[in-house]
Amino acid sequence: MPTTPATAANSSSNGTAEAIMLELVDENGTTIGTAEKLAAHQAPGQLHRAFSVFLFDEQGRLLLQRRALGKYHSPGVWSNTCCGHPYPGEAPFTAAARRTHEELGISPSLLAEAGTVRYNHPDPASGLVEQEFNHLFVGMVQASPDPDLEEVGETAFVAADELAKRHAEAPFSAWFMTVLDAARPAIRELTGPSAGW
């Protein structure tokens, strides 16, 4: 993984895993502190900064990922292209590009900000809570995914008219529809009216 000031502050020189810290924010998205990742997700949840990425191919199909079964939060469910948390002090755009490459082995050919959305989604299966101030990004991808199997179980490109069928047949993350709906204006601008988003 490339080392940046943010990643250097969140890695250990002796190879042992250190606690992953998240940036806590107020209702306006202003940083107010930090918390350990798991602690921030335990009920009732602490409001923290997050990001969600939606990447499309040239046919206007959305790249979905199914979260790896080994993940402690929402394992095995389908979700948007990539989502995660910036390290404290890391720009959301930088974090979105970094995690997309780390999880899926791809770099977007275009990545643009698409607003923010604030939500509170409990996960009944794990008891964890997504209490997030989420920065949205939309973009294009031209390369085929090469996922990290510890993070991603499966990927699929889906057209807008296929999404509802897939969503009815398989479990999706609790936050998926919230972030998709919030990103739709930017998605429509990116993919054009014929893509149906």
Task: Report CA 14 to chain centroid distance, whole Å.
Answer: 29
Q: How far is CA 37 from CA 45, 49, 96, 120, 128, in A?
A: 10, 11, 17, 16, 11
What pLDDT score does 133 carry? 98
Residue 87 and residue 154: Cα distance in Å, rounded? 26
Distances (CA, A) of 68 to 39, 84, 92, 151: 21, 14, 23, 5
- Lookup result for tokens 């095995």: 76
| 14 or 89, higher pLDDT | 89
Indicate the residue type of 145.
P
Confidence of residue 6 (pLDDT cuts 50, 70, 90): very low
Q: How far is CA 181 from CA 22, 29, 128, in A?
A: 25, 20, 22
pTM, rounded to two decimals = 0.89
Given this model, what pLDDT does residue 108 score? 95
DSSP per-residue letters across 3-71: --HHHHTTS-TTS---PPEEEEE-TTS-EEEEEEHHHHHBTT---EEEEEEEEE-TT--EEEEEEPTT-
Where are any strands of DSSP class E within 85-187?
110-122, 129-140, 152-158
Active-site residue list: 83, 132
**How many Å separate Cα 33 from the centre of its chain?**
21
Q: Which pLDDT does position 5 carry in this prediction? A: 37
Confidence class for position 123, pLDDT limits 50, 70, 90: confident
Mean pLDDT in residue range 84-107: 97
Residue 101 above 60 pLDDT? yes
Residue, of 16 and 169, whose pLDDT is higher: 169
Going by C-beta distance under 8 Å and a sequence separation of 6 or more, which residues neighbour residue 39? 46
- Mean of all residue pLDDT scores within the chain: 91
Q: Summarize pLDDT for 163-181 with one digit per residue, the tens.
A: 989 988 999 999 999 999 9
Question: What would the pLDDT profile of 124-143 be if each residue is shown by its tens digit?
Answer: 778 899 999 999 999 999 99
Q: What is the pLDDT of residues 37-89, one digit of tens each?
A: 999 999 999 999 999 999 999 999 999 999 999 987 889 999 999 999 999 99
